[in-house]
Structure 1
Amino acid sequence: MCRKDSSDKHSFKGHAVQYREVQGHETEKFLSYFKPCIIPREGGVASGFKKVEAEEHKTRLFVEFVRSSLNHDDVFILDIESKIYQFNGSKSSIQERAKALKVVQYINDPYHDGKCDIATIEDGKLTADAKSEDLWAIFGGFAPLPRKVVTDNTQSIDDLPTRLFG
């Protein structure tokens, strides 16, 4: 049992202190240790006990890699071998866009040696350009994103199962 010392109310007398964090409900303090973000990766790490083969670069969308994952309300990052795309939904906030840009720069540095092209795609932009055509080609061609339909049977985000995509 840890006895509190009245002279030092933050002293734990050498005893370990543990905190529990639940995925999707992390505290700000916990997230502050992983700036600008946490990017989960499949596989392991090389160590004295385990040898991991170097893997080829995999195209990653940081949600499920299907067109239906994209929407007008959020910002998405697509990382392919030669380019990183930031897709800004037309209703996304400036804070989301700024945070996503930090994540894009974070991905570019360690995973692409800072040499990867970065393309920002603005949702709802009527004029097509080469970088947006490239993005849509990855998804099999351009098609408008569906608008959200509000129903009476809406589910809270807290009711959805937690899933992690890498």
Structure 2
Amino acid sequence: DEYGVAAYKANELDDLLGDTPVQHREVEGLESVRFMKCFPEGVHYLEGGVESGFRKVDQEQDVFDLPDRLLHIRRVGTPTRAFRIIQVPMSTSSLNAGDAFMLDTGTEIYTWYGPDCSPFERNHCATLAQNAAGNRFGHCTVTTDVGDDLDAFWDLLEGGREDVKPAEDVTDE
């Protein structure tokens, strides 16, 4: 049980440091400004548990075996205007006109920007894509600002282009 281990390790660390640390609890999606300032590049919420932190490498092909994932990049909150990067279902209904998205297949990365997406979200999404590709040592290509005409991107998602939500349908929660 991951929650039990986390609680146990927090107490163990507290004991190790002589009961001097102060523990704070944060709730996903409702983080304090102080917490968000600890992550200037944004907070990433990914699916999975312990196993998701490990990558398998095919020694024969020297390629990472990563699951396909769609990341929603959104600038939220005040006063930090921090970024939240949230893994969402691989579906066109996960997309919305007001935010940026990065689709990562392991060997290909696509960025899609809603027409109402802020320049800050575009820039952050492009930076995330380039950093992810750079960590794969030439085994990954990046296609930025995918439009409605790139079937390679749309074919990876369930649903149709008409399922993309309007920007006003999405809140910071």
TM-score bracket relative to the smaller structure: 0.5 to 0.7
Q: How many residues align?
A: 130
2:142 paired residue among 99, 104, 118: 118
Change (3 A) 1:86 1:24: same
Superposition RMSD in Å: 3.5
CA distance in structure 2 between the partners assigned to 1:80 and 1:53 by the alignment: 13
Instruction: Using the TM superposition, give the Cα deviation of residue 66 of structure 1 relative to its aligned residue in structure 2, in angstroms.
Output: 1.1
Q: TM-score, length-normalised on structure 2?
A: 0.58
- Preserved contact between residue 57 and residue 81 of structure 1 (Cα < 8 Å): yes
1:108 aligns with 2:130: no
Helix, strand or coil at the partner of 1:61? strand
Counterpart amino acid of residue 143 in structure 2: A
1:81 paired residue among 101, 106, 109: 106
- Preserved contact between residue 79 and residue 85 of structure 1 (Cα < 8 Å): yes
- Preserved contact between residue 36 and residue 103 of structure 1 (Cα < 8 Å): no
Instruction: Using the TM superposition, give the Cα deviation of residue 33 of structure 1 relative to its aligned residue in structure 2, in angstroms.
Output: 3.2
Q: Select the structure that is richer in helix.
A: 2
Helix, strand or coil at the partner of 2:144? strand
Counterpart amino acid of residue 31 in structure 2: E
Change (3 A) 1:64 1:44: same
1:54 paired residue among 53, 56, 59: 56
Q: TM-score, length-normalised on structure 1?
A: 0.60
1:44 aligns with 2:50: yes
Instruction: Using the TM superposition, give the Cα deviation of residue 155 of structure 1 relative to its aligned residue in structure 2, in angstroms.
Output: 9.2
CA distance in structure 1 between the partners assigned to 2:171 and 2:122 by the alignment: 24
